[in-house]
Amino acid sequence: HRRFDYRPKTDPYCQARYTFCPTGSAIPLMKEEDVIEVYRLQAPVWEFKYGDLLGHLKIMHDAVGFKSSLTGKNYTMEWYELFQLGNCTFPHLRPGMDAPFWCNQGAACFYEGIDDAHWKENGTLVLVTTISGTMFNEMAQWVKYDNETGIYYETWTVQASPEKESIVWFDSYECSKFILRTYQKLADLGAVFKKVQTNYTSIILFSGEPIYLGNETSIFGPLGNRTLAAAIRDFYNPFKPHQTIKEFFVDLTKIIDRVILNHQFYLFYNLEYWFLPMKFPYVKIIYEEVPLPVASKASSGV
């Protein structure tokens, strides 16, 4: 996933149904001698059934919790979409505009408190490691860097086959990936993680080798490829980004039908368009283990 120099200003056209990070606050500076407990937090976004193709699925949202021994205060840190999931996955087709218009950014949100009931009743709230105040402060610096340079949300993982060692053409960039990066950073700083099973949700598309199509200007600009532009617009036409989680999954089923019927998918990734020659089993939502990282003695920096 490409890093960018800065986060672009959001277009006023992009409106969120729910405010991003409404109670967010700056990450506090912890005292060096503080001992901070780190918690893995996970709860379902939605569970749904789509025929025999996908079965009953666990769509999970991940976050990380902290508790300061010195102050007794709890904090939650998570990473999610600025304009909800539909906007990160599907573009708007706006009248008078040839190119699909994307309202897609993701960012970290940090706030005081852990909603114990939310995480415990429906999912997971488990201690994974303990760190010093110094390590917490170094992690906070890294979060700032990560947040300023990794700005686009990416729903899909794209790989060649369901095999474990399969080629990954494109990696997703969403809430769980941020949590995995955070754990890795803490391990690089010397955190030692407990032996806890940790599973994450991935939405995977299966494709032959992707074909590069170009960027917005080269496809939709004045010297663009009219036929290709029309094909991309046609592909995205059934999907309406401003929607509820439920409507998002209705559209997801539409896209799956199209993908299976036509064996094709147009992917927008790091501001470029790619054609995916889709192949069986086309799409899968998996919930699989990604082990907690092993502490490394040498810090890798940012």
**In the 3-class helix/strand/coil scheme, how is 34-45 assigned residue by residue?**
CEEEEEEEEEEE
Would residue 118 show up in a list of annotated catalytic residues for this protein?
Answer: no
Residue 160 CA to residue 209 CA, distance in Å, equals: 7
Residue 282 CA to residue 159 CA, distance in Å, equals: 10
Residue 142 CA to residue 114 CA, distance in Å, equals: 22
Residue in 56, 61, 103, 242 annotated catalytic:
61
What is the sign of the dihedral through the CA atoms of 99, 262, 242 and 25?
A: negative
**Longest Cα–Cα distance in the chain:** 63
- The terminus-to-terminus CA distance of the chain in angstroms comes to 15
Would residue 263 show up in a list of annotated catalytic residues for this protein?
Answer: no
How many C-beta neighbours within 10 Å does residue 18 have? 9
Residue in 56, 175, 242, 263 annotated catalytic:
175
Residue 55 CA to residue 62 CA, distance in Å, equals: 22
Long-range contacts of 232-239 (CB under 8 A, 24+ apart): 232/100, 232/266, 232/273, 233/93, 233/98, 233/100, 235/264, 235/265, 235/266, 236/90, 236/91, 236/93, 236/100, 236/266, 237/93, 239/86, 239/89, 239/90
Q: Which residues are catalytic?
A: 61, 175
